[in-house]
Amino acid sequence: MHTPICDLFGIEYPIFAFSHCRDVVAAVSRAGGLGVLGAVGFSAEQLDIELSWIDEHVDGMPYGVDTVMPAKSVDTGGGGDDPDDLAARIRTMIPSEHWEYVDELMDRFDIPPLPDDVEPHGVVGWAEGVARAHVEIALAHPIALLANALGSPPPDVVDQAHDHGVKVAALAGKAQHAERHVNNGVDVIVAQGHEAGGHTGEVTTMVLVPEVVDACEGTPVLAAGGIGRGRQVAAAMSLGAQGAWTGSLWLASAESNSGPETIDRYLAATSSDTVRTRCFTGKPARALRNTWTEAWEDPSGPGPLGMPLQNILTAEANARINRTHRSDLGFVPVGQIVGSMNKVKSVRDLMFEMVEEYIETVERMHSGMTAPT
């Protein structure tokens, strides 16, 4: 399974794992892949704590950090805002019709209000000011990779990472995005297809990966979206990728911080149970379909707003829903590979099984293409 990207990062397997959970990140890197911590949900202070923990638990193996800097954001160029001030500013941009719809949904689903001492916080990690603070913190730790979703990082951030000896990756949902990333100095392209969990585009992994590989000759490409087992890693490599960038798979691992109800939902879901919806963040993101996602598709409602307004609009509602543990309403982002996530396994076992199945697949292909047993 060794490809040139393994040498670039000093890793055994070209398996990259995006996770918001530090235990998963450290376990993947210790198991020979490269764990990448998603920063978007953390304050800058909390990110520092998470990274210090990883530094102590990763046994010196390389790991990365993923920020979310959209190419366009309400605060682009206005970096440095306090997250609470920014959220307050965003609230003023939300039409009253949307506030009324959220109130109506809270009544319709009979969701109790928050206790007085609980403050809802929307995720503002994708606002430029907050994401830049994440970059500063990340570069103060011994990271090997800085990845960015929703666009190339700004040129000065790419330069800053390179000055620290850190490689830069960016997610691409179209070949044109990938070309732009290469022109902006990005070192690794993550070609992420429609099947993926979280924010995702319209082009499927099978179609996207060869297009991206051809569009950015010479720049390593990782395939993402719908990869959870060795046969899929082999397919990604045959499409020209140097490895796989995975996310959903680890959500139901033993190390994951997903709650027990959420884990049960992953284990029960089929690959048909997800939907690409703007109702959580304002940009299309894949999650389990439920009553909440359907309420935002209802043509009699106002429909979702853009990023970051939708998240701030629904921050309190989501906090209220989360307290009820109502799985028919909460946000459960995951990709179509959820249909194969049928048992809780350790990160080490998932990695071992993926490598084993990859080797069997490659041997089978060399020896006459019989069906897998």
Ligand X SMILES: Cc1cc2nc3c(=O)[nH]c(=O)nc-3n(C[C@H](O)[C@H](O)[C@H](O)COP(=O)(O)O)c2cc1C
Q: Give contact residues for ligand X (rule: CB under 6 A).
A: 18, 38, 40, 66, 68, 147, 149, 171, 192, 195-198, 224-227, 245-249, 333-335, 337
Which residue(s) pair with 68 in the sheet? 149
- 124 burial class (0-12, 13-18, 19+ CB within 10 angstroms)? buried
Query: At residue 280, what is the residue type?
Result: F
Question: Toward ligand X, which CB reaches closer, 174 or 364?
Answer: 174
Write out the two tokens for 21.
């959970």
Question: Nearest approach, Cβ of 196 to ligand X (angstroms)?
Answer: 3
Question: Toward ligand X, which CB reaches closer, 98 or 234?
Answer: 234
Question: Nearest approach, Cβ of 249 to ligand X (angstroms)?
Answer: 6
Question: Nearest approach, Cβ of 195 to ligand X (angstroms)?
Answer: 5
Question: Nearest approach, Cβ of 69 to ligand X (angstroms)?
Answer: 10
Separation of first and last alpha carbons in the chain? 21
Question: Nearest approach, Cβ of 185 to ligand X (angstroms)?
Answer: 18
Question: Toward ligand X, which CB reaches closer, 182 or 287?
Answer: 287
Question: Toward ligand X, which CB reaches closer, 62 or 333?
Answer: 333
What b/e sequence results for 126-160 when a residue is b if at least 16 CB atoms lie within 10 Å of its CB, and e otherwise?
bbbbbbbbbbebbbebebbbbbbbbbbbbeebbeb
Question: Nearest approach, Cβ of 225 to ligand X (angstroms)?
Answer: 4
- State the residue for tokens 């701030």: 312
Question: Toward ligand X, which CB reaches closer, 40 or 279?
Answer: 40
Question: Toward ligand X, which CB reaches closer, 198 or 284?
Answer: 198
Dist CA 44 CA 131 (whole Å): 9
- 301 burial class (0-12, 13-18, 19+ CB within 10 angstroms)? middle
Question: Toward ligand X, which CB reaches closer, 281 or 361?
Answer: 281
Asked if residue 39 lies in contact with residue 30, where contact means CB atoms within 8 angstroms, the answer is no
Question: Toward ligand X, which CB reaches closer, 62 or 225?
Answer: 225
Packed helices 175-183 and 205-215: angle between N→C axes, nearest 10 degrees? 30
Could you give the residue ranges of the DSSP H alpha helices within the chain?
4-9, 22-30, 44-57, 83-91, 96-108, 128-139, 155-163, 175-183, 205-215, 230-238, 260-268, 291-297, 309-313, 315-324, 347-366
Question: Nearest approach, Cβ of 164 to ligand X (angstroms)?
Answer: 20
Question: Nearest approach, Cβ of 299 to ligand X (angstroms)?
Answer: 28
- Which residue of this chain has its Cβ atom nearest to ligand X in the complex? 247
Pairing type for strands 63-68 and 34-38 reads parallel
